[in-house]
Structure 1
Amino acid sequence: MTQPVTLTLNAGSSSLKFSLYDITGAPVQLAIGNVENIGRQPRLKASLGDGVPRVERELSPSEASDHPSTLKTVLTLLREHFPKAHAAVVGHRVVHGGPRFSEPMAVTDEVMAELRTLSPFAPIHQPHNLAGIEAARAAFPDALQVACFDTAFHRHHPKANDVFALPREYYDKGIRRYGFHGLSYEYVSGELKRIAPLLHAGRVVVAHLGNGASMCGILDGRSVASTMGFTALDGLPMGTRCGQVDPGVIFYMVQQEGRTIDEVRDIFYNKSGLLGLSGISNDMRVLESAGVPEANEAVDYFVFRIRRELGGLAAALGGLDALVFCGGIGENSRKIRRRICDGMDWIGIELDHDRNDSGAQVISTDFSRARIMVIATNEEIVIARAAKRLLSEQAGAGA
């Protein structure tokens, strides 16, 4: 007897994250893992359930030369440990859904064709997301493929928060503020509704801080403003991405330095952010322990931009009832959380240093007007739930 499961995939430029969920009831995670450095020095890490030793090993070039070969290697591992599992549906993270896709969608040839047209909007993400979908369609021709969009959570912004001050025809061409990390914000907002429904109904800023970083203003569970805009470059500085920058810098690089657009894109996406500012690393853990001026300056700028955006988002919301940290840095760096919150009592934030240092979920003082929380995000379960829902709807339609 087979066991129906959902496989979730998050394909990056040189990585493939995966999870396996039992969907006989509410989705229950069976396995989670990732392959890094695809095509270079690939390495597999996976947790395969209670009582099973964690898998962590180097892969040969043939095992992970590209996304299709990597998926084949992952499936071999999963089939070995879950021989009765049957992938009824595969859920995919897709960074850009454009103006049209505001909810998870079953993947068809038409949908794929439209998603390909959005690749210029997310050049370092979208092509690899779509390569993952193509690999999964080939591996599971009978499974339902579901695309879940990072932009979908933000598709109901007020018009003033959705436009750029460009000639109006560019908005109709799709040049607008999309916002990203929507799967993370959807999960955190849902958790807040579960554990603190009154806060969820109020004015919340969520700070998703990791190698990719952004912030979102949420009112009554709906995104009303995001630090990210047309692409995933805007807003906060990130591991290797620049964040907000004067567009005139692009003109200067092209006209005065003679750089090509591809060279400028490479600088903005891959050589900037914490890495570019420090000249050392894009890893916050390395920078926090480096003890040199360049690293300190990079961290200072990261914190400054977050505090500045926090004030702006609070203004967009008309006040602040809660600040929630998530993402690799937000969940794990007590120093960054402290530096963001200290001195922000004017906005109602008062950090309890002992709670912050101990890793508590609520890290504000009892007297803080705005509650400060840490909620570990889980994009995979958002994808798994959406995939199962669409599978159930499809089954109901065919009944």
Structure 2
Amino acid sequence: MSDVVLVLNAGSSSIKFAVYPSGANAVPLIRGKVAGVGRDPVFSAIRADGTAIDMSMLTNIDVAADHETLVSLLLDWLEQHRGDRRLVAVGHRVVHGGRGFSRPVVVDDAVLSQLEHLIQLAPLHQPHNLAAIRAISRLQPTLPQVACFDTSFHRTQDRLAQLFALPRDMSDEGILRYGFHGLSYECIASILPDHLGERAEGRVIVAHLGNGASMCAMKNRQSVATSMGFTALDGLLMGRRCGALDAGVVLYLMQSKGMNATEIETLLYRRSGLLGVSAISNNMRDLEQSDDPRAREAIELFCFRAASVLGGLVTALGGLDAIVFTAGIGENSAQVRRLICDRLVHLGVDLDPRCNDGNSLRISSVRSSVDVLVLPTDEEAVIANATNETVALR
């Protein structure tokens, strides 16, 4: 009998899952997704060879089924289709680990309680991450679960990179810059030597551009600075999130518009970003296909802000050797990469248009003093490896 681990990445509207053989750097046996959570759930999955798996038995699901119900259905399905493989652990993406968690950890009641206190710092993600953990605990209470944190990768930053200019007692209580997308950055850091050789240890900025977006400045493949801060709201313009915002705007909305905290949270997390600027969509592909001038303005603002943030991160590194684009937009939008890099010519960036349009791994020209790469990220693989290691150390 062989052992497997299940990886769960539970978001607000989807649950990504993967089944990995137990052991380091394994290839997933199954990858899948539950889309339409909360409105019309649909299960889909593929095998390692890319062939689709029939999941038609998971139909007629209540449209209002919550995360716990859907995780329960998924576990039942895996039980019937895992053959002679034994499920030995479950690894979870958890967005916020606060100051208390700098590495993956086996979840118990005390850990879960601490993570629940961080929900207000990641309201779009943390509740759903924890709902999946609770579902597994209820269904299989003896099965080890490991929480892997998006904030952990950034704990290598020095104190100055983490501080806000707030009274010291607030910093001491934990109002700090934490950073996010750490699982993605950890994945990219692990494969950089394969593509950059010795320059992988140099001054590298990774741009994780998707519906959620951030950048990370790395030196020696460790986080030196990042665009996101106390919450996943800061930094770059995103699909529905505004990114960096003058705090005075929030005061104005409260004092002059009479908006309360819930209304402001909805505005900044769900109605802003690409959706808010374009008034069309939060999806970059939709905007690129639109002739509406508002769509073009949203794209250009996204790229202007990204180039500006990248330039600021160069200061933290003291120079720039390479840029890596990753995640949904970073890996697939040649237009976005071009518009960002066009603003970075003064840093020595020069794209090869043919390679960029073809989504090649290396898109910089031979004239470029900065290597520009497009690399796929794999957060699930990072979680699987961390889960195997953490459970083995128990």
TM-score surpassing 0.5? yes
Render the CA deviation track for 1:231-282: whole Å, top value 9, x for unaligned. Answer: 0000001110110111111111111111111000001000000000000000
Aligned residue number for residue 159 of structure 1: 159
Cα distance in 1 between the residues matched to 2:51 and 2:348: 46
- Tell me the residue number matched to 2:223: 223
Moved more, 243-252 or 26-35: 26-35
Deviates more, 1:8-17 or 1:79-88: 79-88
Contact 1:87/1:140 (<8 A) preserved: no
Residue 117 in 1 paired to residue 117 in 2?
A: yes
Matched residues, number: 393
In the alignment, structure 2 segments of 5+ residues that lack a partner are: none
- In 2 relative to 1, CA 340–51 (structure 1 residues): closer, same or farther, beyond 3 Å? closer
For residue 37 of structure 1, report the CA deviation from its aligned partner: 2.2
How far residue 51 of structure 1 moved from its aligned partner, in angstroms, is 7.2
Partner of 2:12 in structure 1? 13
Aligned residue runs from structure 1 range 225-304, under 5 A: 225-304=225-304
Instruction: Check 1:25–1:176 CA distance in 2 against 1; reply closer, same or farther (3 A cut).
Output: closer
Q: Deviation per CA, 1:177-203, whole angstroms, max 9, x where unpaired?
A: 000000000000111033323122100
Say which SS state the counterpart of residue 18 (structure 1) adopts.
strand
For structure 1, which segment, 326-335 or 67-76, has the greater mean C-alpha deviation from structure 2 after superposition?
67-76
Residue 343 of structure 1 deviates from its aligned partner by 4.4
TM-score norm. by structure 2 comes to 0.96
Does the C-alpha gap of structure 1 residues 24 and 320 become closer, same or farther in structure 2, counting only changes over 3 Å?
closer
* Alpha-carbon distance, 1:112 to partner: 0.9
Match of 1:44 in 2: 43
| CA deviation after TM superposition for structure 1 residue 142, in Å | 2.3
Partner of residue 313, structure 2: 313
**SS at the partner of 1:28?**
coil
Counterpart of 2:21? 22
Change in Cα spacing, 1:305 to 1:192, as seen in structure 2 (3 Å) is same
Q: How does 1:80-95 map to 2 (within 5 A)?
A: 80-95=80-95
Shift of residue 14 of structure 1?
2.7
Q: Equivalent residue of 1:364, what SS?
A: coil
Instruction: Report the equivalent of 2:383.
Output: 383
Secondary structure of 1:363 counterpart: coil
Amino acid at match of 2:35: E
Query: What are the within-5 Å matches in structure 2 for residues 163-242 of structure 1?
Result: 163-242=163-242
d(CA) in 1 for partners of 2:152, 2:106: 14
- Shift in Å at residue 64 of structure 1? 6.6
Identify if the C-alpha distance between structure 1 residues 174 and 300 changes in structure 2 by more than 3 Å, giving closer, same or farther.
same
Kept in 1, the 8 Å contact 2:321–2:369? The answer is yes
The 1:20/1:164 distance shift into structure 2, 3 A limit, reads same
Q: What is the identity, as a one-letter code, of the residue corresponding to 1:170? A: M
Could you tell me how far apart the structure 1 residues matched to 2:225 and 2:210 are? 19
Q: Does 1:132 align with 2:129?
A: no
Shift of 1:52: 4.2
Contact 2:23 2:385 in 1 (8 A): no
List per-residue Cα deviations over 1:328-374 (Å, max 9, x = no partner): 00000111111111242210211111111122101101121110001
Tell me the CA shift for residue 38 of structure 1: 1.7
Classify the secondary structure of the residue corresponding to 2:28: strand
Partner amino acid for 1:31? I
Q: Give the match for residue 149 of structure 2.
A: 149
Distance 1:24 1:153 in 2: 22
Determine helix, strand or coil for the equivalent of 2:289: helix
CA distance in 1, matches of 2:101, 2:343: 40
Contact 2:9–2:16 (CA under 8 A) maintained in structure 1 = yes
| CA–CA separation in structure 1 for the residues paired with 2:390 and 2:49 | 29
- Find the aligned partners of 1:71 and 1:306 in 2 and give their Cα distance: 36
Are the equivalent residues in 1 in contact too, given 2:204–2:321 (CA < 8 A)? Answer: yes
Cα distance in 2 between the residues matched to 1:332 and 1:12: 21
Report if the CA contact (8 A) 1:62-1:69 is conserved: no
Structure-2 change in CA distance of 1:235 and 1:51 (3 Å): closer
8 Å contact from structure 1 (residues 239, 274) kept in 2: yes
Supply the distance in 2 between the matched residues of 1:129 and 1:228 (Cα, whole angstroms): 19
Distance 1:217 1:279, change over 3 A: same
**1:156/1:24 Cα in 2 relative to 1: closer, same or farther (>3 Å)?**
closer
Offset of 1:136 from its aligned partner? 1.5
Q: 1: CA distance between counterparts of 2:246 and 2:366?
A: 41
Amino acid at match of 1:16: I
Secondary structure class of the residue paired with 1:235:
coil
Give yes or no for contact 2:284–2:329 (8 Å, CA) kept in 1. Answer: yes
1:28-65 CA-to-partner distances (Å, cap 9, x unmatched) read: 20111111222211122211343743457684343870
User: AA paired with 1:92?
Assistant: H
User: Cα gap change, 1:366/1:391 in structure 2, threshold over 3 Å: closer, same or farther?
Assistant: same
CA 1:225–1:335 in structure 2 vs 1: closer, same or farther (change >3 Å)?
A: same
Cα distance in 2 between the residues matched to 1:132 and 1:213: 23
Paired with 2:61 and 2:33, the residues of 1 have a C-alpha distance of 16
Q: Give, as a single letter, the amino acid of the residue that structure 1 aligns with 2:20.
A: Y
Q: CA deviation at 1:126?
A: 1.0
2:77 match: 77
Per-residue deviation at 1:391?
Answer: 1.8
3-state SS, counterpart of residue 148 of structure 1: strand
